[in-house]
C-alpha cells in the first residue's frame, strides 16, 4: 500500500494549496522561484487554474501529493516542460513543512515516473537540483535516477543562477538503436550499488552508524507502524540501509550487497554451476518498474543480491 498518492489539481484545492505553501515559506523560498515574500492566496489561485488548464491541454501534468487516509494535501509534484518530440520532460516536487521526513517526495516521484512512462509515454524524466539543495538530491538519489553530473548555471531561482545536479529517470521500454549496430559501452560488472541490513531495532542500529561513522539518517516509512532508515554520507549520497525485519520477515541476516550485472539471465544461470545457491528471484520497482533481482548465496554462504544493470549508452 502506498503511504501517499498523487492526483491532478482541482479548483476546489486553492485554499488548501495556499495553506500548505504558506506554512512552508522558509524551506521552499530558497529553491522555488515562485515563493516570493508577497506570495498570497491569489498566487495560489492562479497556479491551480494554470495547473488545471495545462493538464487539459496536455502541456504539463501538475499533481498534488495527498494522504490516502484523509485526502489532505502533503505537497505537490509534476511533469512539466514536456517535449513530446523527444519524449523528455522535467520532474519536480515539494513537500509541506509539517510532512517532511515521511518519504512523501520519493513516493510522489516514483508515482510520477510510472505515470510519465506508462500513461504519457515519455522516455526521459529529468530531475534538476540546485547545488546545495540536499533534501531534493536525496530524493532524486532514492528513486534510482541516473546521476549525470553537475551542470553550470543550469537553474535560476529569482535572480540567482545555480549550478545544478542532473538526474534522469530512463524508460526501459524506450526504443533504442538496434543492439547489433549500435555502439554501446559494456555494463560495469560488479559495481556495488547499495548495501542494506535487516534488523529488529532499526532505530537503535541506525543511530549506531550515525554516531560511529558520522553519517546522517533519513527515516523511510514502510507502513503506519514501521520505519526503516537510509544513511547518507557528507555529500548526501545514500550509502547504507537499515531495514525493519517486521516488514521483511524470512529475509537474510547481515549486510546484503546489491551488485549490478549485465546479461542478467546468463549470469544468474552460472550461480549454481559456480557453487552458489539461488534463494529467490524477484522484480521490484527500483531503478525502473519491474527491474529484475536475484538473491543468492556464494559458496561460503554469504548472501548477495544480483541486480539487472540499467540501460546502457
Would you say residue 221 has pLDDT above 90?
A: no
Would you say residue 213 has pLDDT above 50?
A: yes
**pLDDT at residue number 189:** 66
Same fold flag, 5-170 and 192-308 = no
**pLDDT at residue number 184:** 44
H/E stretch holding 15: helix 14-22
Would you say residue 61 has pLDDT above 90?
A: yes
Domain boundaries, the chain: 5-170, 192-308
Grid-cell match 509534476, residue found: 78
Would you say residue 21 has pLDDT above 90?
A: yes
Q: How many whole angstroms separate alpha carbon 311 and alpha carbon 288?
A: 10
DSSP string computed for 204-218? HHHHHHHHHH--EEE
Q: What is the mean pLDDT of residues 63-75?
A: 96
**pLDDT at residue number 180:** 45
Max Cα distance, the chain (Å): 68
Would you say residue 119 has pLDDT above 90?
A: yes
Q: Which residues contact 178 (CB under 8 A, 6 or more apart)?
A: none
Confirm if 171 and 120 have CB atoms less than 8 A apart.
Answer: no
Q: Cα-flanking dihedrals φ and ψ of residue 240, to 5°?
A: -145, 150
Q: What percent of the chain has pLDDT over 90?
A: 66
**pLDDT at residue number 288:** 67
H/E stretch holding 168: strand 160-170
- Has domain 192-308 been given CATH number 3.10.180.10? yes
With CA atoms as reference, report the closest residue to 287 among 188, 128, 165, 140.
140
Pick the residue with more confidence: 184 or 48? 48
Confirm if 249 and 194 have CB atoms less than 8 A apart.
Answer: no
DSSP string computed for 75-137? EEEEEEEEETTTTEEEEEEEE-GGGTTSSHHHHHHHHHHHHIIIII--SEEEEEEETT-HHHH
Would you say residue 224 has pLDDT above 90?
A: no
With CA atoms as reference, report the closest residue to 258 among 289, 227, 312, 296.
296
Q: How many whole angstroms separate alpha carbon 21 and alpha carbon 44?
A: 8
Weakest-pLDDT range from 76-80, 159-163, 250-254, 282-286: 282-286
**pLDDT at residue number 291:** 86
Q: Which residues contact 127 (CB under 8 A, 6 or more apart)?
A: 90, 91, 92, 109, 136, 139, 140, 143, 145, 166, 167, 168, 169
**pLDDT at residue number 313:** 43
Confirm if 303 and 252 have CB atoms less than 8 A apart.
Answer: yes
Secondary structure class of 245 (helix, strand, coil): coil
Q: Please count the CA atoms within 13 angstroms of the CA of 279 that sit on its side-chain side.
A: 15
Would you say residue 311 has pLDDT above 60?
A: no
Q: How confident is the model at residue 178 (pLDDT cuts 50, 70, 90)?
A: low
Q: What is the chain's percent helix, strand, coil content, to nearest 5?
A: 25, 35, 35
**pLDDT at residue number 95:** 97
Fold of 5-170: Aminopeptidase (3.40.630)
Q: What is the mean pLDDT of residues 174-196?
A: 68
Amino acid at each position: 500500500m502506498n503511504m501517499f498518492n498523487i492526483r491532478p489539481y482541482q479548483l476546489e484545492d486553492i485554499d488548501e494549496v495556499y495553506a500548505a505553501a504558506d506554512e512552508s515559506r522558509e524551506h521552499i523560498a530558497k529553491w522555488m522561484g515562485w515563493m516570493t515574500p508577497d506570495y498570497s492566496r491569489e498566487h495560489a489561485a492562479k497556479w491551480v487554474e494554470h495547473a488545471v488548464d495545462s493538464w487539459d491541454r496536455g502541456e504539463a501534468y501538475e499533481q498534488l501529493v495527498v494522504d490516502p487516509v484523509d485526502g489532505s494535501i502533503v505537497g505537490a509534484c509534476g511533469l512539466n516542460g514536456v517535449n513530446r518530440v523527444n519524449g523528455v520532460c522535467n520532474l519536480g516536487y515539494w513537500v509541506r513543512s509539517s510532512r517532511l521526513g515521511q518519504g512523501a517526495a520519493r513516493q510522489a516521484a516514483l508515482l510520477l515516473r510510472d505515470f510519465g512512462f506508462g500513461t504519457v509515454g515519455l522516455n526521459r524524466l529529468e530531475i534538476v537540483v540546485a547545488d546545495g539543495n540536499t533534501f531534493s538530491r536525496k530524493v532524486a538519489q532514492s528513486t534510482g535516477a541516473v546521476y549525470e553530473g553537475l551542470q553550470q548555471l543550469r537553474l535560476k531561482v529569482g535572480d540567482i543562477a545555480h549550478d545544478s545536479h542532473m538526474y534522469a529517470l530512463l524508460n526501459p521500454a524506450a526504443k533504442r538503436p538496434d543492439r547489433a549496430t549500435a555502439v554501446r559501452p559494456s555494463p560495469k560488472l560488479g559495481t556495488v550499488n547499495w548495501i542494506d541490513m535487516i534488523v529488529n531495532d532499526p532505530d537503535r542500529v541506525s543511530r549506531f552508524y550515525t554516531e560511529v561513522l558520522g553519517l546522517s539518517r533519513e527515516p523511510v516509512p514502510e507502513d503506519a507502524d514501521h520505519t526503516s532508515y537510509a544513511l547518507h554520507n557528507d555529500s548526501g549520497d545514500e550509502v547504507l540501509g537499515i531495514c525493519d525485519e517486521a516488514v521483511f520477515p524470512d529475509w537474510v541476516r547481515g549486510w546484503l550487497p546489491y551488485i549490478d550485472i549485465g546479461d542478467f539471465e546468463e549470469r544468474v544461470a552460472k550461480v549454481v554451476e559456480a557453487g552458489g545457491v539461488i534463494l529467490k528471484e524477484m522484480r521490484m520497482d527500483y531503478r525502473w518498474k519491474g527491474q529484475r533481482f536475484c538473491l543468492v548465496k556464494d559458496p561460503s554462504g554469504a548472501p548477495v543480491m544480483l541486480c539487472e544493470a540499467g540501460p546502457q549508452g
